[in-house]
C-alpha cells in the first residue's frame, strides 16, 4: 500500500492533469464556438466544408482584417471589416447542372477532378457572373463533355442547411454525341436500370437521378 506521501504526489499529479485537461477542453470549446461563429456550414460528418477552410481574413474593399461581430439588424454574427465596417457575407454558391437525355438514356461522366475523383455524375459546375443559370448549365455541359444540349425544363433544386452549395438541375435533350473533356475520365450513357448508384459523386447527384427516373 502506498504511503501518504505518494498519495499526495498522485493527487497533485492528478489535479495538474485535470487542470490541463480542463484548459484543453476550454480551448477546444472556444475554438469550436469561434469556428461556428465564422463558418456556418458543416458537412454531414460535422466537419466544416472545404469551401470554408480558408475563409477571407481581410476586407476585399480596404484590405483591413475582418473579425466576427454580432450585427444587430441581422441578429447574427458576420465577418465585419475592422476598419471600414463593410460586412462580408458568406452564402451558398449556385451550382448549375444538366441531365442530358437521348432516347430514354442519359449521359454521365466520371470525374477527373477532386473532390470525388473517379465517381460518376452529370455535367454541373459553379455559375459565373454574367450568365443565367441555364447558360451556366449549358456551358458546364460543353466544358465537361463537349456536347450541345437543349434545356427542356427544370428538374429540381437541391440544398441542405449544412451544405455550402445550391444545385439547380435541368433536364435537356442531347443535341450531339459527347466528345469528353479534361474534367472527364470517361463518359457513358445509362438507362435507369444501369445507373451506377454506388459510384455516384454526391448526395445530390443521386437525388437528381432518382428525380429523373420519377419524371419518366
Residues forming the site for Zn ion (CB under 5 A): 59, 61-62, 64, 81, 83-84, 86
* Closer of 61 and 118 to Zn ion (Cβ): 61
* Closer of 12 and 67 to Zn ion (Cβ): 67
Shortest Å distance, C-beta 82 to Zn ion? 8
Residue 161's region, left for phi above 0, alpha for psi from -120 to 50, else beta, is alpha
Rg (CA), the chain: 25
* Closer of 81 and 133 to Zn ion (Cβ): 81
Shortest Å distance, C-beta 86 to Zn ion? 5
Shortest Å distance, C-beta 11 to Zn ion? 53
* Grid cell digits, residue 103: 432516347
Shortest Å distance, C-beta 87 to Zn ion? 10
DSSP symbol at 104: T
> Could you give the CA distance from residue 74 to residue 198 in angstroms, rounded to a whole number?
42
- Would you say 67 and 79 are in contact if contact means Cβ atoms under 8 Å apart? yes
- Would you say 66 and 39 are in contact if contact means Cβ atoms under 8 Å apart? no
Q: Identify each DSSP E strand in 112-200 by its residue range.
A: 120-121, 124-126, 149-158, 165-174, 184-190
* Closer of 66 and 101 to Zn ion (Cβ): 66
DSSP bridge partners of 78: 69
* Closer of 74 and 173 to Zn ion (Cβ): 74
* Grid cell digits, residue 81: 471589416
* Closer of 21 and 87 to Zn ion (Cβ): 87
- Would you say 141 and 172 are in contact if contact means Cβ atoms under 8 Å apart? yes
Shortest Å distance, C-beta 205 to Zn ion? 39
Shortest Å distance, C-beta 70 to Zn ion? 18
> Could you give the CA distance from residue 210 to residue 29 in angstroms, rounded to a whole number?
40
Amino acid at each position: 500500500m502506498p504511503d501518504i506521501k505518494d498519495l499526495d504526489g498522485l493527487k497533485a499529479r492528478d489535479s495538474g492533469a485535470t487542470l490541463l485537461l480542463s484548459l484543453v477542453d476550454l480551448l477546444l470549446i472556444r475554438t469550436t464556438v469561434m469556428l461556428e461563429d465564422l463558418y456556418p456550414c458543416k458537412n454531414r460528418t460535422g466537419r466544416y466544408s472545404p469551401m470554408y477552410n480558408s475563409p477571407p481574413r481581410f476586407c476585399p474593399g480596404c484590405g483591413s482584417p475582418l473579425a466576427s461581430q454580432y450585427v444587430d439588424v441581422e441578429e447574427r454574427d458576420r465577418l465585419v471589416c475592422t476598419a471600414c465596417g463593410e460586412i462580408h457575407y458568406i452564402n451558398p454558391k449556385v451550382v448549375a447542372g444538366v441531365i442530358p437525355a437521348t432516347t430514354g438514356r442519359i449521359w454521365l461522366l466520371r470525374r477527373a477532378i477532386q473532390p470525388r475523383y473517379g465517381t460518376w455524375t452529370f455535367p454541373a459546375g459553379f455559375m459565373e457572373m454574367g450568365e443565367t443559370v441555364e447558360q451556366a448549365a449549358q456551358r458546364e455541359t460543353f466544358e465537361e463533355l463537349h456536347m450541345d444540349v437543349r434545356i427542356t425544363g427544370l428538374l429540381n433544386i437541391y440544398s441542405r442547411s449544412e451544405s455550402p452549395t445550391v444545385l439547380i438541375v435541368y433536364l435537356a435533350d442531347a443535341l450531339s454525341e459527347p466528345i469528353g473533356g479534361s474534367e472527364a475520365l470517361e463518359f457513358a450513357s445509362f438507362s435507369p436500370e444501369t445507373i451506377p448508384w454506388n459510384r455516384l459523386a454526391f448526395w445530390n447527384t443521386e437525388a437528381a437521378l432518382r428525380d429523373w427516373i420519377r419524371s419518366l
